[in-house]
Amino acid sequence: MTVTLRSLETAVPPTILVQPEARDVFAAQPGLTRLGQRLVRTCFDSAAIDTRHTAVEEMSLDFHGPDPMFYDGATGLLLNPSTKTRNDLFATEATALFVEAATKAVAACPDLDAADITHVVTVSCTGFFNPGPDYKIVRALGLSPSVQRYHLGFMGCYAAFPALRAAKAFCEADPEAVVLVVSVELCSLHVRTSNDPDTIMGSSLFADGAAAAVVTARALPLTAPALELDHFETVLTPVGEDSMAWNIGDHGFEMVLDTYVPKIIDDHIVGALEPLLAHSPELNDIPYNEIRHWAIHPGGRSILDKVQAKLELSDEQLIPARETLRNFGNMSSATVMFVLKHILEQPASQAREPICGMAFGPGLTVETGLFTKVGPPASVPPEVGQTVSAQSASAQEELAIQQAELALIPDPQSTDPQPTVPASRA
Q: Which residues are catalytic?
A: 157
Amino acid occupying residue 163: A
Paired with 357 in beta bridges are 295, 369
- Beta strand 148-153 with 119-124 is parallel
The angle that helices 335-344 and 160-173 make with each other, rounded to 10 degrees, is 70
- Beta strand 119-124 with 71-72 is unpaired
Alpha helices, H only, 154-227: 160-173, 197-205
- Beta strand 244-249 with 208-216 is unpaired
E strands in 281-335: 293-296
**Cα distance between residue 196 and residue 194, in whole Å:** 5
- Beta strand 119-124 with 178-186 is parallel
What percentage of the chain's residues is helix, strand, coil (to nearest 5)?
A: 40, 25, 35
- For residue 415, the tally of other CB atoms under 10 A from its CB is 7
Q: Output the CA angle 210-121-325, nearest 5 degrees.
A: 25
At a CB cut-off of 8 Å and minimum separation 6, what does 423 contact? none
User: Please, is 340 exposed, middle or buried when counting C-beta atoms within 10 Å of its C-beta (0-12, 13-18, 19+)?
Assistant: buried
**Cα distance between residue 250 and residue 215, in whole Å:** 38
At a CB cut-off of 8 Å and minimum separation 6, what does 3 contact? 167, 168, 171, 172, 215, 216, 217, 228, 229
Of all helices (H) and strands (E), which one includes residue 393? helix 393-408
Contact 228, 4 (CB under 8 A): yes
